[in-house]
Structure 1
Amino acid sequence: SARLKDDEVRPFLDQCPDALQEIPYEDARSVILGAIEFARQFGFEPDESWKASNTLVEAHRLFSPRFNFGKDGQPLYIQGSHDDARNIMSKLAPFIREGSAHYIAAADEGDETDFDEWCDEVSCLMEDKHFRDARNEIEEMLERYPERWEPLYLKGTCLAMEGSPDQAIPLLNQAIAAEPCAEVVGSDGETGSLGRVAKETIDEFAASILKSDGLPLDQHFAIGRIYDQAFKSLTAGHFDEASRGFLEVLKALPRHVQSYGNLGLAYAGLGERDRAIACLDKAIELDVDYQLAIDNRRILLAAPDECLAVQSMREIDFYGDRARTGSRRPVAARALAR
């Protein structure tokens, strides 16, 4: 282990305003190496000087974890005067949005005023129904201020006003997670036009889902996530995983047309022709105009058994297009459509 002479350490000690307390060497190692290990979970690496100084605490040797880090085990960033705050916050932003990291930023009145004015301009664009311009501004805002909840709220509100509450609600929930005091009705207050539109749209969407599918909103989005994962498995050629996912969706939504259509493709990929055709038949029974299911059924009937997987994979992109654009009666974000 390294040994420093007193005259080498003294200049550093003289800079410390408070009296120092001696602790066991292994505790010191645990503090230093434990802090580095904790920070790495969130994308932070030690300063370049660590390469030269890590031998002081024998970084190559295992240490015994003896301390907890962060606030209740979660990062709490307090901005310092010389910090590269933008870089730090960009790394923390995903965790802040999930509610698994927190921050206290130094206030900059000039920057805060500019930001507020920018938010007002975007709000005006949305009220005037210039949604494309508003979305462009919001995307730039998200890039420049990844730690702020307001851009998430504005994007969610914009989508809600455009008639896409299924995409709006997760963003509004992210805004609340990033800043718990942020109300879903918006920064302009409950009677504000933007906040009122967003809240009314969300309430109407939740009522519609409950009436049509018998599902509360949280369960509806949970099913949507299962569908999304099943669709990813399908496009990746993991047909067994895909079939299980689509079957799970159909337990909750037994008349979900697209799940039957994609389940047919999954079965085709597994070489189960009869089950594949039965699923496509069910999709067509539920939606007689479902041309993709009609086309896929024709392809499967014409294909030799050994070509089933190849032919089904050729058709997956058409289902992806339907998932992205939505059907005549969209249900949830991205792929979950009736």
Structure 2
Amino acid sequence: MTSKRSNKKAKKAAKRKVQTRKQKHLQAEQRSRFLIEDVVDEAMQRIEEGDFRTAERILSKLKKKHGGNPLIFYGLGVLEAFKENFSRAIGYFNSATDLRPDLVEAHFNKAVAYQQDADISNAIRAFQKVVEYGEPDNDLVEAAQDKLDIYGKTMKEMYNLTIETFTEAQDLFEAGFALMDNREWEKAIGKFQQAIEKNPHFSQPYGNMGMCYGFLGEKQKSLDALDRALEIDPGYEPAIFNRMAVEALEEGQKLNVPMKEIRYKGVS
């Protein structure tokens, strides 16, 4: 009987020790989180003051000590955005939102960085994430919804497109661009044609399609596509230069020189 009581007491004591360790661990995690927030806030203050070197030193030291904390990646993203390194900023914001999808500040700043990089389709997606994860009365949510409303209205009035159709066309173009990078000309043409079916109002899919036809040795099809690109946008420089290169070819002769290309950005 005494042995049973002793065993029960031992189990209870062990359980209390486990609970105590858990509590201490949670408290330590909480202290660490508050510490990181305070240090990131300090770095943000330095960034606003234009002291990028000190901010970078603070955030790099924090990253070395605490690894993949989303707030650290967010801070690094803000730093790169202030330095106008928008591609690097987007990379850091992506790291932050991968680790913490509900970090609306990172989604919002990512959207602004995409805007600065003239990538409207991905800016729209990032603003949509702000609305998805944020509270309705959050200032960033309201600002993001205002941006989405403006984009929706502009696309409807100018091109009779919905935001959804616009981003679908962007996805198809990006798929074509990747195939083009791999020199899969026929498959790339197919994706560009699908993008044009969704959104016929932009010159870049036609321009890149013209390049693909040129690499295949189909001169007339190449010229037709480039002419259509220039019909939509007479100032589209890559199409102007590429057309001159294609014009010099014989039918059946393939392009074998570097070509100018531009990524499909969309409405600015």
> What TM-score comes out, normalization by structure 1 length?
0.51
Q: Deviations over 1:287-321 (max 9, x none)?
A: 2212221211111111244542424xx20xx21xx
What amino acid maps onto 1:183 in structure 2?
G
Where in structure 2 are the equivalents of 1:281-292 lying within 5 Å?
281-292=227-238
Corresponding residue for 2:60?
none
Q: Deviations over 1:93-129 (max 9, x none)?
A: xxxxxxxxxxxx9993113324544676688789999
In structure 2, how many angstroms separate the alpha carbons of the residues matched to 1:270 and 1:284? 21
Residues 247 and 140 (structure 1), Cα distance of their counterparts in 2 relative to 1, 3 Å cut? closer
Q: 1:64-88: CA deviations, max 9, x gaps?
A: xxxxxxxxxxxxxxxxx99xxxxxx
Task: Give secondary structure in 2 for the equivalent of 1:308.
Answer: coil
Following TM superposition, by how much is the alpha carbon of 1:173 offset from its aligned partner in structure 2, in angstroms? 4.9
Alignment of 1:158 onto 2:109: yes
Question: How far does residue 228 in structure 1 lie from its aligned partner after superposition?
Answer: 0.3
Q: Report if the CA contact (8 A) 2:108-2:130 is conserved.
A: no
Secondary structure at the aligned position of 1:275 is classed as helix
Residue 226 to residue 126, structure 1, CA distance change in 2 (3 Å): farther
How many Å separate the matches in 2 of 1:267 and 1:137?
36
Matched, 1:272 2:242: no
Which residue does the alignment assign to 2:174?
Answer: 228
The answer to whether the 8 A contact 2:219-2:249 is kept is no
CA gap of 1:198–1:128, structure 2 versus 1, over 3 A, is farther
Change (3 A) 1:184 1:128: farther
Aligned residues: 211
Q: Provide the aligned C-alpha RMSD in A.
A: 4.0
Match of 1:14 in 2: none
Q: C-alpha separation between the residues in 1 aligned to 2:110 and 2:252?
A: 45
Amino acid in the other structure paired with 2:263: A
Higher helix share: 2
State the Cα distance separating 1:132 from its structure 2 match: 5.3
CA distance in 2, matches of 1:206, 1:121: 38
Q: In the alignment, is the contact (CA less than 8 A) between 2:219 and 2:250 conserved in 1?
A: no
Per-residue deviation, 1:145:
8.1
Amino acid at match of 2:105: L
The aligned runs of 1:145-294 (5 Å cut-off) are 146-151=98-103, 153-161=104-112, 164=115, 166-173=121-128, 182-183=133-134, 189-190=137-138, 192=139, 194-294=140-240
Partner of 1:109: 30
8 A contact 1:265–1:276 mirrored in 2: yes
Distance 1:278 1:235, change over 3 A: same
Amino acid at match of 2:109: C
1:247-292 Cα distance to aligned partner (Å, 9 max, x none) = 1111122232111111111222222111111111111122221222
Question: 8 Å contact 2:93–2:107 — kept in the other structure?
Answer: no
Identity percentage over the alignment? Answer: 18
Write out per-residue CA displacement over residues 129-154 of structure 1, whole angstroms, 9 at most, x where no aligned residue.
99852647886676578521255x32
